Amino acid sequence: MLKTLSFALNKPSLLLMPSLFEPVAEFLQRKALFRPSVLPAAHRFGFDGAVFEEHFLNTPDGAHLNVLRFPTSWPQCRGVVLYFHGNRGNLQRWGFMHRDFTVRGYDFVISDYRGYGKSSGHLSERSLYEDARLVYDWVVERYPSIQIELYGRSLGSAPACFLGAHVRAHRLILETPFDSLPGLLAAYLGREYLPLRTHYTLPNNHHLRHCPLPVLLLHGTDDLVVPMRCAERLRECLKPGDEFVVIPGGTHHNLPTFDRYQEALNHWLGYPLMPHRY
């Protein structure tokens, strides 16, 4: 995300100016936000021998969403983690994230956004939220809502926060989240706020203020993609009982390798049968 934004941030008038430059601004924001890797329909997933199921969900407008479900090996399942991934790659990369959750007794469900992997269709802010609700509805047909843990990483914090404000679930966990797209761009520009509107907003701060679920937020001090000051703005959206975990030295990509991250998951989700080593 950071590299793609570099040119745009050097030309903020192109990125933010409405009217004449709006198509250019929309294009630049789209390229920064969404970095998909497409997979052929015949691609066969593999995750070091992990057991999983592959599904496809049909959207009302004719798109297809690729979904993977990893069952835990625990004899008594604690629940399910509904995971929304970052802005790069596809399920072949992100499916490995199951390890921190299946080892703790949770099934793990993850989907690709439109245009990522084997998923089809045009991705927009509206479809990002609508598709998240579609995947949630599929999950809640299989698990009680009280057993659903919503998890959003980076870009995935947007659909996760949206669901947290609109559906029933057990908890909401956010890894390297941002307050909003304008807030993120303002952080890159060294400003407190942007005076002009953006095509995409992704208002995690607004959704968090309306989220009744317990919230765990995890962020690293050395994150250069979503600067710490951007995540810090979410503190004012948290309720008593929510937790903001700051991981010294953590970057945008390595939080699970820190003991503090694993300790936070132990506290919120329970201890694993056997700790996973990175």
Read off the pLDDT of residues 223-270 as tens digits, 9 standing for 90 and up: 999 999 999 999 999 999 999 999 999 999 999 999 999 999 999 999
> What are 112's two structure tokens?
């690709």
> What are 193's two structure tokens?
């706020």
Q: Is a pLDDT exceeding 50 seen at residue 87? A: yes
Lowest mean pLDDT of 2-6, 45-49, 135-139, name the range.
Answer: 2-6
Q: Is a pLDDT exceeding 60 seen at residue 15? A: no
Q: Is a pLDDT exceeding 80 seen at residue 12? A: no
Residue 3 banded pLDDT, cuts 50, 70, 90: very low
Q: Stretch 63-90: mean pLDDT, rounded? A: 97
Q: Is a pLDDT exceeding 90 seen at residue 111? A: yes
d(Cα 150, Cα 164) in Å, to the nearest integer? 7
Q: Is a pLDDT exceeding 60 seen at residue 9? A: no
22-72: pLDDT as tens digits: 666 677 777 778 999 999 999 999 999 999 999 999 999 999 999 999 999
> What are 15's two structure tokens?
């990125």
179-218: pLDDT as tens digits: 999 999 888 888 777 777 788 999 999 999 999 999 999 9
Which CATH superfamily is 2-38+46-269 part of?
A: Alpha/Beta hydrolase fold, catalytic domain (3.40.50.1820)
Torsion angle, alpha carbons of 134, 137, 141, 143, to 10: 120
Global confidence as pTM: 0.91
Is 102 exposed, middle or buried, given 0-12, 13-18 or 19+ CB atoms closer than 10 A? Answer: buried
Residue 21 banded pLDDT, cuts 50, 70, 90: low
Nearest to 122 by CA among 68, 178, 42, 65: 65
Q: What does the angle CA 73 – CA 136 – CA 216 come to, to the nearest 5 degrees?
A: 75
**pLDDT value at position 277?**
58
**pLDDT value at position 1?**
52
**pLDDT value at position 115?**
97
